[in-house]
Structure 1
C-alpha cells in the first residue's frame, strides 16, 4: 500500500512540472478574461461608433477601438470565447471516438482492428486542411462546421496513440490476471489502461487544441471560415491589417492573444517523463 502511494505521488510530482503549471495559470488567466469580461462591461462587440474609429485606449475602453469604432475589449473577449469553445469542442469530439475506437481495436484485434485502422487510413489519405475547407464550403458562415472538420482530422491521433499503448497493455501480466479473475472490460480499462494513456491523451489534447486554434485563425485570416461581423482572432487580424500604421495597438491585440493561447497549451502539453 505504501509503495502504491509513493508511486502515485511520484507520478503526480512528475506530471505537475513547473512548465505545465505556468501553462495552466496562463490559460486560466486568458479564460477568465474571455468569460468574465461580459460581466464587468456592458459593451456589444458588434456595435459601431465611427467617431471612435481607430481610437486609442481610454479609461472607458482600455484596449481602444477598431476601424469601425467597435470596442476592442468586447471583441477580443468574444473572439477568445469562440476560439476556446471551438477548440474544446474539437478536442472532445475527436478524443471520445478516437480513444474508444483505439481501445476497441487493440482489445478485439483481428478483423475489427483491421477495419477501424482502414477507416483511419482513409481519413489520412485526405489532407486535413482540405477536409476542413470542404465542410466550410458546404456550410458557410457556420462556426460548428469548423470544429466538425477539425475533429475529423484530430481523432486519428487519439486512435493511433490509444491503439498502440493498449495493444501492449492488453498483453501485460496485470491485465491478463484481471481477466482471469473475471473482471470485465470496464474494470480493466479504468484500472489498467486509462491511468497509462491519460497523461498521453492530455498531451495530444493540448497540442490538438493549439492546432485547432491556429487552424481557425488561419482560415479566417484568408477569409475562409467565420464571417464578419462575428469576432474571431484571425478575422480581426484581417480586418485590422490595412490600418497597422494608424493603430498598431489594435492589430497587435489579436496577434498577442493567439500567441499566448498557443503558448499556454504547449506549456500544458509539456513532456511526460516517467
Structure 2
C-alpha cells in the first residue's frame, strides 16, 4: 500500500496542467453525483423488487436493477458517497498525525526523532492490508476497524515525507540566517517549510485517497470489509458477478465508478513539472 515512491523530494510538482484540470473536473462530477445523488434519487438502495430482477436500462430504471431488483442508480450514488467519505476521512486521519509528527521529528531531532522512526519502522514492517485485516478480525464488517486500520497504515507515508523534507529545509543556510536575525519557529514554519511541503502533502493526500478507495473495495469484495446489503462498490461487483452473462452492464457499472474515482485522484495528483 506504499505510495511514497511516487513522491519526489527534489522538486514538487507545480502548475495546473491539462491532467490536473481533467482530474479535478472528473472528481467534481463524481463528488456531485455522490453528494446530491442520494438526495435527488428518492429510492432506498436496499429496497427489493424481485419482479424487476436484473431489469435493463429503461425509463423506469435509469441504470437497471440488480438481482434483487434494487435500483442500480440509487446504489451507485450511495456507494460513491461511501467511497468518497471513507477515503477522505481516512486521508485526514492519516495526514494530520503524520504531518505533525514529521514536523516534530525534524524540529526536535534526538530521542524524539529516534522514537518516532522506530514506531514508523514497526508499522512499515507489517503490510498495510494485514494491519487492516487484524483490526477487522475484532469487528468484521464494521466501519470503525476498517477506517482505523487504513489510517494507521497510511500515516507513515505523510510522516516520512514531512520529516525528510523538513530536515532538508532546516539545514539550509538561509534558515540559520533567519534564526540569527531573530525570526521564530512559527515564522520559519509558515514562510519556509509549509510552502515547500504543502504541494507534496497535497499530492500524497490524493494518492492516499485512491489507495483507501481501492482497499475498501478490495476488502469488501473478499467479504472481510463492509457487508451486503451496504451499497459498497466492491461488494456490488462480487454480488453481480454470477449474473454477468445476463446483465454485464450491471457488473461493469460499479467497476467503472471505482476506476473513475481512482483515475480522477491520480490525475489530480500528477500536476506538471516546473
Coarse TM-score class (shorter-chain normalised): over 0.9
**Hey, what's the Cα distance between the residues in 1 that align with 2:122 and 2:266?**
29
**Hey, what's the Cα distance between the residues in 2 that align with 1:69 and 1:122?**
47
Q: What TM-score does the superposition give when structure 1 sets the normalisation length?
A: 0.92
**Hey, what's the Cα distance between the residues in 2 that align with 1:194 and 1:100?**
12
1:136 aligns with 2:136: yes
Aligned length: 264
Structure 1, gaps ≥5 residues long: 1-10
**Corresponding residue for residue 251 of structure 2:** 251
1:22 aligns with 2:22: yes
**Hey, what's the Cα distance between the residues in 2 that align with 1:271 and 1:121?**
30
SS at match of 2:137: helix
Cα deviation 1:238-272 (Å, max 9, x = unaligned): 10000101111100100100110111111011045
Question: Aligned pair in 2 of structure 1 residues 138, 129: CA closer, same or farther (>3 Å)?
Answer: same
How far has the Cα of 1:61 moved from its partner? Answer: 2.1
Structure 2, gaps ≥5 residues long: 1-10
Q: RMSD between aligned alpha carbons? A: 1.6
Q: 1:199–1:272: 8 Å Cα contact kept in structure 2?
A: no
Within a 5 Å distance, the mapping from 1:123-202 to structure 2 comes to 123-202=123-202
**Structure 1 runs (4+) greater than 3 angstroms displaced:** none
Q: Which has the higher helix share?
A: 1
**Hey, what's the Cα distance between the residues in 2 that align with 1:272 and 1:204?**
15
**Corresponding residue for residue 111 of structure 1:** 111
1:74 aligns with 2:44: no
SS at match of 1:67: coil
**Corresponding residue for residue 214 of structure 1:** 214
Asked which structure has the greater RCO (Cα within 8 Å, sep 6+), the reply is 2
SS at match of 1:224: coil
Q: What TM-score does the superposition give when structure 2 sets the normalisation length?
A: 0.92
